[in-house]
Structure 1
Amino acid sequence: MATYTLRLPRNLLEQLHYVADYEGRSANMEIIQLIKRHIAEFEQNHGEIKIK
């Protein structure tokens, strides 16, 4: 697992926490789910991302 620092406006962070709590996840897991969904959508439109 890699570490990445993310800077967000406070109101966006508070909204993220609200959604994560609603979904029963931590903010970190909510971000991971959002990224996975976005990558899946990207790959559906543009093809599989191949990482060397």
Structure 2
Amino acid sequence: MATNKKVFTLRLEENNFEKIKIIAEKNKRSIAMQIEYLIEQHIEKYEEENGSIKIND
């Protein structure tokens, strides 16, 4: 299955990882998809408060 998603290593404190794992299970998401969802929510909130982030291609 091809994807255009970037791959990278993320190091988390064990407590944070375990808490995200529990949240992901409750939301029926993988840990990776839960982290991506949380990042998307944070970006959306940031842009609401600070304006759209411009990405240079």
With normalisation by structure 2, the TM-score equals 0.85
Long gaps (5+) in structure 2: none
User: What is the match of residue 2 of structure 1?
Assistant: 6
2:44 partner SS: helix
In the aligned structure 1, how far is the partner of 2:46 from the partner of 2:23?
23
Number of aligned residue pairs: 52
> Are 2:17 and 1:13 equivalent residues in the alignment?
yes
With normalisation by structure 1, the TM-score equals 0.93
Deviation >4 Å, runs of 4+: none
In the aligned structure 2, how far is the partner of 1:30 from the partner of 1:38?
12
> Are 2:43 and 1:39 equivalent residues in the alignment?
yes
Identity %: 38
In the aligned structure 1, how far is the partner of 2:16 from the partner of 2:55?
30
Deviation at 1:42, TM superposition (A): 0.4
Hey, which of these two has a bigger chunk of helix by percent?
A: 1
Residue 52 of structure 2: which of 28, 48, 51 is its match? 48
> Are 2:40 and 1:25 equivalent residues in the alignment?
no
